[in-house]
Structure 1
Amino acid sequence: MPRELSPEFRRKVLDLLRAGRAVQQIAEDLQISDQTIYNWRRQDRIDPGLVAGVTSTDHRRHT
């Protein structure tokens, strides 16, 4: 079963990406999957409207 990761942890990962760290290195260092990081990065671009997709707010309304 997947473990629940905090919003603070997610923010830390996204900050590392913005600082220029490679996805593979972050995944290895923090022991999370690279796919999780890619998903978080994509959602981080969707929420402010930078790319098309369902926002986090809309997703929560429909679940």
Structure 2
Amino acid sequence: MPKSFPLSMRRQVCARLRAGEPVAQIAEETGISPATLFRWKAQVLVDAGVREGIPSVEADELASAKKRIAALEAELKLTRDACELFNAQAVVSPKGGSGSSKG
């Protein structure tokens, strides 16, 4: 699982990246991998409009929507499974309706 960094730290590092500080220097000082820093730098440039791509705000909304869709699909599957189980175990009433004798 990827390591998580506090948002405040990420903001500070991103500001330094945007200012043009070398990735290697920041990686050495912070212990954050250069690959992570290059990813962050690319996103900072997209957010600043310098580079084409999906801004963070839109990416966050998209990720949130995908999670919601996955949750709804899982709920739908459970509902369908429950309906199939219920229908498979349905009690069939005997001939003659309620079963009361006429006489």
The verdict on a shared fold, with TM-score over 0.5 as the criterion, is yes
Aligned to 1:8: 8
Structure whose alpha-carbon radius of gyration is higher: 2
Identity across the alignment (%): 34
The Cα of 1:50 is off from its aligned counterpart by: 1.6
Alignment of 1:3-42 (within 5 A): 3-17=3-17, 18=19, 20-42=20-42
Displacement of 1:48 in angstroms is: 2.6
Asked if 1:54 corresponds to 2:54, the answer is yes
How high is the TM-score relative to the length of structure 2? 0.53
RMSD: 1.6
| 1:22, distance to aligned residue in structure 2 (A) | 2.0
The amino acid of 1:10's aligned partner reads R
The structure, 1 or 2, with the larger RCO (C-alpha pairs under 8 Å, 6+ apart) is 1
- 3-state SS, counterpart of residue 2 of structure 1: coil
Query: Aligned partners of 1:4 and 1:13: how far apart in 2?
Result: 14
How big is the shift at 1:32?
0.9
Runs (4+) of structure 1 exceeding 2 A deviation are 14-17
- The runs of 5 or more residues in structure 2 that have no matched partner are 64-103
Unaligned runs of 5+ in 1: none
TM-score, scaled to structure 1: 0.79
1:19-62 CA-to-partner distances (Å, cap 9, x unmatched) read x5321121122111001111111111111322100111111111
Q: Which amino acid aligns with 1:8?
A: S
